[in-house]
């Protein structure tokens, strides 16, 4: 989520055809990094056995993700 909060505001003005591939490449770069891979190795087995334990974190991530895209698409509508 840090990635989405750290994007410069002017990126919200880029058309979806250009912005979405850029965003996906940035997300993949973060997700494929060694620290994140190591963290996933710890969390994934826990998720399989204790799904309710990470529910608050999951809801927070989804909420931030939805909020980001609402802001992005609102800005796109303003630009026409």
User: What would the pLDDT profile of 10-25 be if each residue is shown by its tens digit?
Assistant: 888 899 999 999 889 9
In a domain, 43, yes or no: yes
Report d(CA 73, CA 77) in Å as an integer: 6
Kindly state whether residues 58 and 45 are assigned to the same domain: no
In a domain, 62, yes or no: yes
In a domain, 4, yes or no: no
Where b means 16+ CB within 10 Å and e means fewer, 2-41 reads eebeeeeeeebebeeeebeeebeeeeeeeeeeeeeeeeee
CA distances from 49 to 31, 45, 46, 52, 57 (A): 22, 7, 5, 9, 16
Kindly state whether residues 57 and 75 are assigned to the same domain: yes
Output the pTM of the full model.
0.66
Task: Tell me which residue range forms the domain holding 62.
Answer: 52-80
Number of domains in the chain: 2
pLDDT (tens digit per residue) in 15-58: 999 999 988 998 898 889 999 899 888 888 887 887 787 788 77
In a domain, 32, yes or no: yes
In a domain, 9, yes or no: no
């Amino acid at each position: 989520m840090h990635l989405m909060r750290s994007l410069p505001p002017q990126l919200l003005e880029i058309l979806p055809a250009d912005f979405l591939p850029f965003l996906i490449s940035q997300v993949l770069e973060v997700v494929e990094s060694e620290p994140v891979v190591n963290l996933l190795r710890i969390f994934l087995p826990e998720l399989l056995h204790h799904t309710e334990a990470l529910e608050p974190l999951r809801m927070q991530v989804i909420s931030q993700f939805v909020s980001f895209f609402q802001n992005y698409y609102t800005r796109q509508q303003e630009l026409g």
